[in-house]
Structure 1
Amino acid sequence: MAHHDQGWTGWLSHFVVQRHAWIAGLGVLTMVVAAVGLFRLETTVKLLSMFSPESRILQDYAWLEEHLGPLVPVEVVLEFDDQNEMSILQRLALVNQVQQTLDNMNMVGGTMSAATFTPDLPRGRGIGQIIQKSVIQRRLAAAMSDEAGDPYVRSTDDGQLWRISARVEALNSLDYGQFTEALRKQVEPLLRKASDSPGDIRATYTGVVPLIYKAQRALLNDLTSSFLTAFLLIGIVMMFALRGVAPGIVSMLPNVFPAIVIFGSMGWIGRLCDIGSMMTASVALGIAVDDTVHYLSWFRRGMRQGLSRREAIQYAYENCARAMLQTTIICGFGMLVFALSAFVPTSRFASMIFMMLVTALIGDLLFLPALLAGPLGRFF
């Protein structure tokens, strides 16, 4: 029972079957080379990378930083618990040390704390210096007891919080995670040296942008782990559906083909992977699995009807290739409209989805049939 289609599906079927070794080999080689590029892939969660260089918001940031100074707030909060016996002046001196440490960091453009608004502490032990210290301590205590509260010092039920605010540039290539770690390495030795007094001193490193950075980094890591989890679970399901470990593994090759090729290529060309790009991996996996299952269903149906493997490949082409192509065209060009968006993650998501869909179609209409026509096809 032969099926002869004089249309493009018949021609494509004949082309793939006749050259299946070359196509399968090229597909595997492409995946291997691209997989090496995955180790070179770098991710980014920089907020300002979400906008094009010509966008109004980046131009405004550049003008403000040029005329006013750095804009991104980074906060260090020192917490003295209620058992700590350091006096207010000793705490102020420690805050001043931490503030000076921040000032000496290249990335920091300016700092502010309670020490900014107090006179330099006298170093001598004469009557005048003692009186001056007493006055400063009394005024600090009065300011902290004010109902309005001091924005840089706050008393709590468990102790006292002293805030040091720094500003860093928004338009540089600063990695806030690395900056926070560098800041921690500078501040922690000062706290350990000062904690000889009874009671603990802890530092919290925070700020609006670093918090958003942490949230985005966590989201990016979760997207990566969710893709790997989905790949594992889908692989197990395919093994059960195809009733064998070998066919399940073979069927997953075209499923991961688009993700490995696209993200591996990004690694080779040095393009950064952001959240918008990473979201496409799971989407592409789902679409590729749908096309793979669609094609394999018709292929196995042809085999059950007594067709040879090559005839079953053509039978599958005749019954699902057009539907797969139409799905790719409709979904791909439908998403490609958003590639014109000024919001970079949306634009990248749209362009990546389009490339993923096209690559998935290549994997399911060229790579998969070539595998089925070769020695691996006997597992099905």
Structure 2
Amino acid sequence: MNRLIDVAVSHHRRVLLLVFLATLPFLWFYAHQSFRNHINEFFDADDPDIAYYTTFQEVFGNDEVMAVVFRDTDIFTPENLSFIRDLTDLMERHAGVQRVLSLTNAEVAVGDGDTVSFDPVLPDGAVTSEVAEASRGMALSHEILTGQVISADGTTTCLLVELLPFDSNEEKGKAIRSLQAAADSVSGGRHLRYSGGPCVEVEINALTRRDNMLFTPVTFLIIMVIVYLMLRNAALSLLGQVNILIIVLWGVGLLVMCGEVVNTVTVVIAPVLLAISIADSIHILSHYRTLYNRNGRNHRAAVREAARNLWRPCLFTSLTTGMGYLSFVTTTVRPVKIVGVFTAVGVMIAFFMSVFVLPAFLMACRAAVEKRHGDRSPLGKGGQDPLIGMLTRLGHWVVARSGVVVLVFVVAAAGVGYGMNRLRFDTDFAAYLKDGNRVKKDIRFVEGNIRGTVPVEMVIEAVGPESDFTHPESMKVLSEVADEVMAHMAGQYTHVFSAADYFAEIHGAFTDGEVGEGALPGSRLDLLDYYELADPEVLERILSPDYRMARISFASKFGPNASAEKVRAFAEARVGQILGSNYRYRFTGLSSLYNTMDKNLKISQVRSFGTAFVLIFVMMFFVCKSPLLALLSMVPNLFPICTTLGIMGWVGIPLDTSTIMIASVTIGIAVDDTIHFITWFRRNCEAGLCTREALVKTFGDTGKPIVMTSVVLCTAYFVFMTGSVKPVIAFGALAGLSMFFALLGDLLILPALIYLIKPALCRDEAQGDAPGRCV
């Protein structure tokens, strides 16, 4: 490694030329990022739930529905009904729309002697007051339409726009925005509201794009300011920024090159790489400056020795950080895996750039760097850096009060543990939006005035042809399941529709309502006759071609996954009893996938953190070369994780697709400063110092770059708080907070534990000196 560093210093122009040429293709890919937040992106392609959902869509059609809603004192006026008709026609002709259901194209079954016809709620022709009143009576008396396309009080109507499948979020976003613009252009002053999963997905996608454009430049500027204030050398600060800019271009460019997309989870990769990759640069630049002033301003020697002295701890810090992120490959949430893999790769790119390319930059810009060395020196009276002096005094204080520090830590751990017990998991995508967001306000309006817009799909499958859905008994089973689920989920589920409802409507029309509302035919011959009368387009949406699979569609309000767990638990306890051995059931659709993601998050938390902990502990053993010191080093790195998770539990912040990464990210990054602290502590012990002296000197040797990197990391993560999506905001706030706690762990808890336990490294233990002799 030292030989490669010497080559980079001696042939710096060639090194920089190669790096420049290698950066060009990554720059091209960086500029061609794509954005996608569809639920499918959160699962592996071979995931069984995604596979079943795909099969469901192939059998029954796409279940992505957009709701267009408006409210008036009376929907059933000639003017409003004419507008709904025009809007329905407009949307049916619009690109990307498969079908539309509204008041003006809905049909109801009407008995006519020994046959049944399907009459439109609003007939063709002019809409007069008489026609409007007839439509009112027909719609409000129809159980299926009420609560689906018209509210019970007749003041709110909903157009359900079923979309075609789209290949990309960009195409879906353009189609939905075009639909909204077309609807608004003919609204005549009516306030239209748009709701449904596709609207939420497109909105989150747009916000992700906005955040991606904001986070990286803001983080870059903040890091540049902080590094300059710490180093007080514009040239050194600029070189550090150029170095991390290349790292981000390579890291994100590689992501795009591999065909990956940016979403609410992977959007953190670029700014996180900026924050992480500056750490090695800060240590090398800070050490270079110290060596330059110490060895008679010999630039080449200072560059060379800085890289030689620090490549080993930088390698270990890169490996531990990379392992922290690489542990995400054990998760079952695909975007988290992507963050883990590509951030880990980016971290190793950062090591290469910092140890080999940064010295080449320093050599190429020698004149500018040396010219700025005397400008605005950070040194105070007596030629000592004030920050180093303050950290040295802190070291004396910690050593003198090590017992108090550890006691406070133990007491705090009790409160943290209680908070951790209150942690919960949640993947409510609508809750990701801020309360003032237009889409979120529209969702709440629609849910409060007419219906839920989250589809919950339940498929009942007959195990044999003798129990398929051409038998009345099967229809009755379908009806009983739907009724019991609706009763159990009252308040959350607002509407249900299945083949049983459809054939009950036909049966009621055929018998003129004599058998009672919701009654089903008792004869298989009657049911088969109804199949002949039914609309084929309706049948293909609710039954499979072989009549072995029946779809029950529930309309749910957006909400936490506790509701999905509630219905699943009820289904296991009750639905199985209703179905018996002749049928089996399965939930699918977006709601089901969100619930599956919730379970995956719980598994991911345990797998990723457990993997990261084991790998990092093994790495720390090689760094510390002492089992006891390695064990002690893990305490200050668990401290920020447990404290942050405890705060989440106390405050009520859930673990979701973004915050789930905090534990593994924190331990992977926090251990970096621990490695630098222990590396310098060991060197001071090997130089003959006792534990007290070695600890205090370590504060002066590496305390400043530790503080610098911690400040940079805290601030960089806090940039995420300017984001537009709640999980990203929470991730930024919590990750920044965890970096602060990591700093406290490294500068307070770690030295206090080392001084109290005194692992056999320094001469006071090796030679049997009494601690009191070491002053």
TM-score by length of 2: 0.44
| Letter of the 2:473 counterpart | Q
Matched residue type, 1:137:
L
Counterpart secondary structure, 1:280: helix
Aligned counterparts, 1:173-322, within 5 A: 174-192=562-580, 195=581, 200-322=582-704
How far apart are the structure 2 equivalents of 1:351 and 1:302? 36
- Tell me how far 1:175 sits from its aligned partner: 2.9
User: Measured at CA, do residues 313 and 190 of structure 1 come closer, stay the same or move farther in structure 2, by a change above 3 Å?
Assistant: same
Which residue in the other structure is 2:425 paired with?
A: 43
**Residue correspondence of structure 1 range 120-159 to structure 2 within 5 A:** 120=507, 134-140=525-531, 150-156=540-546
Letter in 2 for 1:355: L
Q: 1:354 to 1:51 in 2, by over 3 A?
A: same
**Alpha-carbon offset, residue 288 of structure 1:** 1.3
Distance in 1 (alpha carbons) for counterparts of 2:522 and 2:586:
34
Which of residues 475, 485, 505 is equivalent to 1:92? Answer: 475
Check if 1:79 corresponds to 2:461.
Answer: yes
Q: What is the Cα deviation at residue 50 of structure 1?
A: 1.3
Q: 1:138 corresponds to which letter in structure 2?
A: D
Match of 1:60?
442
Matched, 1:164 2:552: yes
Please tell me whether residue 15 in structure 1 is matched to residue 405 in structure 2: no
CA root-mean-square deviation: 2.8
SS of equivalent residue, structure 1 residue 274: coil
Which residue is equivalent to 2:497? 112
Computing the radius of gyration from Cα coordinates, the structure with the larger value is 2
Match of 1:28 in 2: 410
| Correspondent of 1:370 among 748, 752, 760 | 752
**Structure 1 length-normalised TM:** 0.86
Distance between the aligned counterparts of 2:446 and 2:595, measured in 1?
A: 22
- Contact 1:220/1:275, CA 8 A, preserved across alignment: no
Give per-residue Cα distances to partners, 1:165-184, cap 9 Å, x unaligned: 11122257853122222233
Residues 132, 41 of structure 1: CA spacing in aligned structure 2 closer, same or farther, 3 A cutoff? Answer: closer
Confirm or deny: 8 A CA contact 1:143 1:150 kept in the other structure. no
- 8 Å Cα contact 1:341-1:347 kept in structure 2: yes
Q: Tell me if the contact between 2:623 and 2:675 (Cα under 8 Å) persists in the aligned partners.
A: no
Paired with 1:379 and 1:277, the residues of 2 have a C-alpha distance of: 39
What's the secondary structure of 1:205's corresponding residue? Answer: strand
Q: Mean Cα displacement is larger for which, 95-104 or 71-80?
A: 95-104
The change in CA–CA distance for 1:147 and 1:117 in structure 2 (over 3 A counts) is closer
**Counterpart amino acid of residue 113 in structure 1:** S
How far 1:41 moved relative to its partner? 2.0
3-state DSSP of counterpart to 1:256? helix
Deviates more, 1:36-45 or 1:255-264: 36-45
Q: Do the aligned partners of residues 22 and 46 (structure 1) sit closer, same or farther apart at CA in structure 2, a change above 3 Å counting?
A: same
SS at match of 2:658: helix
Q: Identical aligned pairs, as a percentage?
A: 26
**Cα separation, 2, equivalents of 1:340 and 1:216:** 26
CA distance, structure 1, for counterparts of residue 424 and residue 562 of structure 2:
15
Q: Which letter does structure 2 place at the counterpart of 1:177?
A: E
What are the Cα deviations for residues 230-268 of structure 1, in whole angstroms up to 9, with x where unaligned? 112222332344333322211110111100111123223
Would you say how many aligned residue pairs link Structure 1 and Structure 2? 364
Equivalence for 2:766 = none
Q: Distance in 2 between matches of 1:339 and 1:85?
A: 56
Deviation, structure 1 residue 130:
9.1
**2:628 and 2:529 mapped to 1: Cα distance?**
79
What residue identity is the alignment partner of 1:316? T
SS state of the match for residue 374, structure 1?
Answer: helix
Counterparts in 2 of 1:263 and 1:284: CA distance versus 1, 3 Å: same
Structure 1: 5+ residue stretches without partners: none
Of the structure 1 ranges 114-123 and 182-191, higher mean CA displacement relative to structure 2 is found in: 114-123
Quick one: structure 1 residues 171 and 271, their matched pair in 2 at CA, closer, same or farther if it must change by over 3 Å?
Answer: closer
Per mean C-alpha deviation after superposition, the further-off stretch among 115-124 and 340-349 is 115-124
Contact 2:428 2:559 in 1 (8 A): no
Whole-angstrom distance in 2 between the partners of 1:329 and 1:140: 70
CA distance in 2, matches of 1:318, 1:261: 27
Contact 2:682 2:761 in 1 (8 A): no
| Cα-to-partner distance string for 1:217-239 (whole Å, 9 max, x where unaligned) | 30343133211221122223323
Q: Contact (CA 8 Å) 2:637, 2:667: kept in 1 or not?
A: yes
The answer to whether the aligner puts 1:69 opposite 2:451 as a matched pair is yes
Contact 1:55 1:342 in 2 (8 A): no
With over 3 angstroms needed to count, the CA separation of the structure-2 counterparts of 1:116 and 1:317, relative to structure 1, is same
| Aligned amino acid, residue 190 of structure 1 | I
**Partner-residue secondary structure (3-state), 1:155:** coil
Partner AA of 1:20 in structure 2: S
Judging changes above 3 Å, is the alpha-carbon distance between structure 1 residues 202 and 21 closer, same or farther for their aligned structure 2 residues? Answer: same
Q: Is the 1:259–1:281 contact (alpha carbons within 8 Å) kept by the matching residues of 2?
A: yes
Judged with a 3 Å threshold, the aligned counterparts in structure 2 of structure 1 residues 148 and 190 are, in CA distance, closer, same or farther, namely: closer
Aligned partners of 1:37 and 1:266 also within 8 Å? yes
The alpha-carbon deviation at position 147 of structure 1 amounts to 8.9
Counterpart in the other structure of 2:122: none
Secondary structure class of the residue paired with 1:175: helix
Using the TM superposition, name which of 285-294 and 180-189 deviates more: 180-189
Does the 8 Å contact 1:152/1:162 carry over to 2?
yes
Alpha-carbon separation, structure 2, partners of 1:203 and 1:331? 49
Q: Which has the higher contact order (CA 8 A, sep 6+)?
A: 1
Q: Alignment partner of 1:166: what SS?
A: strand
Contact 1:95 1:115 in 2 (8 A): yes
- In structure 1, C-alpha distance between the alignment counterparts of 2:616 and 2:551, rounded to whole Å: 49
| CA shift for structure 1 position 36 | 3.5
2:431 and 2:559 in contact (8 A); partners too: no
